[in-house]
C-alpha cells in the first residue's frame, strides 16, 4: 500500500526507485520490529480516507516515508534526524520548498503528539492508531517495541516504558481529531492502563 502511494508521488521513476530503496533498507533494518514498512502501510490505511482533507497529499506520503527513517533506541533526536533526511531528499528532487517545510512539520510533530492544526493532528493521530486497536494487536505491538529496545534490561526498560504510558494516560485527549478520538480513545486508554499495570 505505501509503496504504491510512494510510486505515485515521485514522478521521476529513477529517482523514486532510488529513494524507495533507501527507505526500504531503513525500515527493514534487523533492529526494527514495529517501525517497519508495515507501519507505513498502516499509516496510509489510516490516512487515505482523509486524503482530500490535506492541502497536498504528496507531502503526507513523504512524511509517512520519512517520519521514522532514523530510529535508534538509544537516541533522543530521531524525529529531528529523520526530518533532516526528509528535507535533504525532497530538496534533491526539487519538491516545493513550502511543502518540504510542511513535511518537516509533520515529522517533528510525532515527537510530542501535541495539537498543532487539522492536518498535522490527523497525521499524529494516525501514528498513534495502534494504541486503540484490539487487545491482541496492542499486545503484539508491545512485544515488537520491547524487541526494539532489547539493548535495555527490564531494570531500565520498565521505568522508561511506564513513563511513556503514564504520559499518554495523563493527556486530556490522546487523539486530537474527533474522528480518531471517537474511534480509538476508549480502547487506547484501556490498552495503556492494562500495560501499565503489568509493567508496574
Q: Which of 6-10, 47-51, 120-124, 159-163 has the lowest mean pLDDT?
A: 6-10
pLDDT of residue 200: 78
Task: State how far the alpha carbon of 96 is from the alpha carbons of 53, 56, 130, in Å.
Answer: 19, 11, 31
Q: How confident is the model at residue 186 (pLDDT cuts 50, 70, 90)?
A: very high
Closest listed residue to residue 165, CA positions, set 127, 129, 132, 194: 194
- Of 4 and 121, more confident: 121
User: In residues, how long is the chain?
Assistant: 200
Would you kindly state where each structural domain of the chain is located, as residue ranges? 2-127, 133-199
Q: Which value, to the nearest 10 degrees, does the dihedral of the CA atoms of residues 163, 166, 167, 170 take?
A: -160
Question: 11: pLDDT confidence band, cut at 50, 70 and 90?
Answer: confident
pLDDT band at 13 (very low <50, low <70, confident <90, very high): low
Q: What's residue 8's pLDDT?
A: 87
pLDDT reported for residue 73: 92
pLDDT in tens, 97-152: 999 999 999 999 999 999 999 999 999 999 999 999 999 999 999 999 999 999 99
Average pLDDT on 11-30 reads 86
Share of the chain above pLDDT 90, in %: 92
pLDDT of residue 17: 76
Supply the pLDDT for residue 15: 72
CA atoms of 119 and 131, how far apart (whole Å): 20
Confidence at residue 155, expressed as pLDDT on a 0 to 100 scale: 96
* CA separation for the pair 176, 165 (Å, rounded): 17
Q: Of 93, 103, 25, whose CA–CA distance to 64 is shortest?
A: 103
Distance between the two ends of the chain, CA-based, in angstroms? Answer: 38
* Cβ atoms of 129 and 180 closer than 8 Å: yes
Average pLDDT score over the chain: 95
pTM for this prediction: 0.96
- From the list 45, 103, 41, 107, the residue with the least C-alpha distance to 71 is 107
Amino acid at each position: 500500500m505505501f509503496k504504491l502511494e510512494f510510486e505515485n508521488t515521485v514522478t521521476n521513476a529513477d529517482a523514486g526507485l532510488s529513494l524507495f530503496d533507501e527507505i526500504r533498507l531503513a525500515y527493514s533494518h534487523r533492529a526494527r520490529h514495529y517501525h517497519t514498512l508495515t507501519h507505513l502501510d498502516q499509516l496510509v490505511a489510516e490516512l487515505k480516507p482523509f486524503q482530500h482533507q490535506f492541502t497536498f497529499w504528496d507531502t503526507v506520503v513523504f512524511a509517512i516515508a520519512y517520519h521514522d527513517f532514523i530510529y535508534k533506541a538509544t537516541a533522543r533526536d530521531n524525529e529531528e534526524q529523520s526530518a533532516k533526511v526528509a528535507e535533504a531528499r525532497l530538496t534533491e528532487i526539487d519538491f516545493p520548498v513550502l511543502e518540504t517545510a510542511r513535511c518537516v512539520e509533520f515529522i517533528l510533530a510525532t515527537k510530542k503528539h501535541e495539537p498543532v492544526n487539522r492536518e498535522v493532528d490527523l497525521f499524529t493521530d494516525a501514528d498513534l492508531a495502534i494504541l486503540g486497536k484490539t487487545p491482541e494487536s496492542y499486545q503484539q505491538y508491545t512485544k515488537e517495541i520491547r524487541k526494539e529496545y532489547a539493548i535495555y534490561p527490564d531494570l531500565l526498560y520498565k521505568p522508561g516504558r511506564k513513563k511513556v504510558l503514564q504520559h499518554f494516560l495523563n493527556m486530556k485527549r490522546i487523539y486530537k481529531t474527533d474522528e480518531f478520538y471517537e474511534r480509538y480513545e476508549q480502547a487506547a486508554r484501556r490498552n495503556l492502563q492494562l500495560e501499565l499495570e503489568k509493567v508496574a
